[in-house]
Chains A and B, each alone.
Chain A
């Protein structure tokens, strides 16, 4: 009996292994006849190409491995910013969709229907090329927010120049640890004695005071300002400060506006999924409307919102690979693009790139599953 059960499974497995083996052999044979060798030694070779925008120290004399890291960090950067922004926007629009105000409700619906039904690549092109055409040349750019400039060549703004940044950073971490323990203490007090502290206010004070205190013991901060520089008769750029490339801005904008529509729908569904009786019951025991939302509706709505939103986070991260179309140097453009071309190592590089995206996606899933479990109903 047992054998009968296992046999089909075994055969399926064998079949998969054979297919996989066949393709591996085939690839091996084809590569042999064409004189291509398999290996990862190329990662140590000099890359000899430059990258527009990098979070870490990089130039063409560094290795392909370093170029990979630059691409990876750029992918993570745009994904992280995108996820944060689309969550905020999605939450606002989702709530707005249920607003009793006709104008707000309809505007939110229109936004959602418009942006989620246009292919993302088109939206990326639109934001990039529309923005390029609409933005002023560096010499015509008006000064905004103190010393910042929005130009066709990027957004130039103040750059902080730190002295002893490591001390400041340690203090920042330290303050977060203290806030964590304080909140635990406050929760315990409330449960045991019913005493309520202004938790948020005290946390904020800790968060500001401790890092600020480090300025007394040697931490110093000054600013570097962007300054207009003439390159040729009609050609200008900014020097100093920090420049955010228009490619990053356009990509973030497109990813955020697109993904936020899906998240907004998740939020709406989550709120509507909480029974009406819950809200009425909460109101009847004298909770204020904001307490009703915070203590009764949201904890239950979140359970509905989180799983599909995880999918959207994954989508956003994977969609960020469309960056290659508009010259944002992400993993696909730098590594699966230039590096692959220069080395000709198609199989290795595509393999590494796939493994990388898989790892990022699994990490996001793991985190979201952990969070989902934490907020799930705990049976006592």
Chain B
């Protein structure tokens, strides 16, 4: 009797070992970041320290903005609730270290996609949620209406650790203008110093200029010059090395843009399930197995649209209605004269 018991226990132990082994290998196929996120119950998202329209916290600590909405979309997709996001405000200097060190899992902080960032420092850009370009702001009473009126000796306030610093040098060098860069660590100090008159011009992405202008003591005293001196495709970033998580973030963003293209909004998403168009049905989880590859259920994209809305709704709510950039410019769908064009969900 005891002899059998011993054999039985060893058999049970073996089965148990085998079972844990198989489940482990199965789990390893799933994204490690996704697993951790689902265990924690919230998405860890790095945002700016306050850029109206993109990521900005109100007095009650509620974050809003188009960058914020990307993180909310991911939370809706993987956790089922767009509010389950922990936002970490980061300076331009801290952002990549916070991501590569694992403090956050998505960096959605008006970050420019460049070759060296994508290739060198352990990051992967997953898409573009705002097409921007660098511009200049000057005081209206200076009479400057174009960058061609800049003269030797001009001083320019900006942030450190951004592509802005590099573009600014390229721009002034190509025009042969000598300039004084005054680079601060935080955007608030840049604005305060420029507003006080320390610099003749303030340069950053045009969306940033438009947003920061609203923070000036007298917004109407300043104008943004028409020239754009660089390409700044801004988008969310993830750590290199977790392909599934990368795909989840990429397709959460794509879903928002494609939903707008097919006219699916947070209001009509549920009724679209009975649509005739298979493309629309795929976007609301009524056809195909669109979530399986990520380790998600089939309605992950429906939740994004219902809880966060499509890209157009997000833009209107955060950027247009707040008066920052009412004109969508290049950030319009390709079908309407813009350059927003995403691969199809199928």
Contact = CB atoms under 8 A, between A and B. Distances in A.
A338 to B, nearest CB: 5
A338 B160 contact: yes
Contacts of A48: 166, 169
Contacts of A49: 165-166, 169, 181
B176 interface: no
A38 to B, nearest CB: 12
Contacts of A60: 169, 173
A232 B143 contact: yes
Given A50-B181, A344-B96, A233 B142 contact: yes
A24 to B, nearest CB: 15
A325 B189 contact: yes
A48 B155 CA distance: 18
Contacts of A229: 151, 153
A247 B97 CA distance: 27
B336 to A, nearest CB: 36
A233 B153 CA distance: 15
Contacts, number: 135
Given A233-B142, A325-B189, A52 B182 contact: yes
Give the size category of B's interface with A: 35 or more
B192 A34 contact: no
B100 A326 contact: no
A336 to B, nearest CB: 8
Given A34-B122, A49-B166, A337 B100 contact: no
Nearest to A338: B160
A124 to B, nearest CB: 11
Contacts of A342: 116, 161, 165-166
Interface in A159-173: none
Contacts of B169: 48-50, 60
Nearest to A323: B185
Contacts of A246: 198
A231 B153 CA distance: 8
A325 B151 contact: no
B141 A34 contact: no
Given A325-B189, A342-B166, A51 B181 contact: yes
Contacts of A51: 181
B197 A344 contact: no
Interface string A8-49: 000000000000000000000011011110000000000011
A329 B182 CA distance: 9
Interface string B248-267: 00000000000000000000
Nearest to B161: A341
B149 interface: yes
A133 B198 CA distance: 9
Interface in A187-217: none
A101 interface: no
Contact of A234 (B121, B141, B182, B239): B141
B223 interface: no
B189 A341 contact: no
B151 to A, nearest CB: 5
A246 B197 CA distance: 12
Interface string A120-141: 0000000001001100010000
Given A132-B197, A232-B142, A344 B117 contact: yes
Nearest to A345: B121
Contact of A338 (B141, B155, B165): B165
A245 B157 CA distance: 13
A48 B163 CA distance: 11
Contacts of B189: 325-327
A152 B139 contact: no
B100 A52 contact: no
Nearest to B157: A327
B144 interface: yes
Contacts of A50: 165, 168-169, 179, 181
Contact of A237 (B92, B102, B117, B155): B155
A235 interface: yes
Interface string B89-125: 0001100110011100000000000001100111000
A344 B123 CA distance: 10
A231 B151 contact: yes
20 contacts: A31-B122, A33-B241, A34-B239, A36-B121, A49-B169, A50-B165, A232-B138, A232-B151, A233-B141, A233-B144, A237-B153, A239-B153, A246-B198, A327-B157, A327-B183, A337-B93, A340-B93, A341-B162, A342-B165, A344-B121
5 tightest A-B contacts by CB?
A344-B121, A341-B161, A34-B122, A233-B143, A132-B196
Interface of B: 92-93, 96-97, 100-102, 116-117, 120-122, 138-139, 141-144, 149-155, 157, 160-162, 165-166, 168-169, 173, 179-186, 189, 192-193, 196-198, 200, 239-241
Interface of A: 30-31, 33-36, 48-52, 60, 129, 132-133, 137, 152-153, 229, 231-235, 237, 239, 245-247, 324-327, 329, 333, 337-338, 340-344, 346
Given A36-B100, A341-B161, 12 more contacts: A35-B122, A49-B169, A129-B192, A132-B193, A132-B196, A232-B200, A233-B142, A324-B185, A327-B189, A337-B93, A341-B92, A341-B96
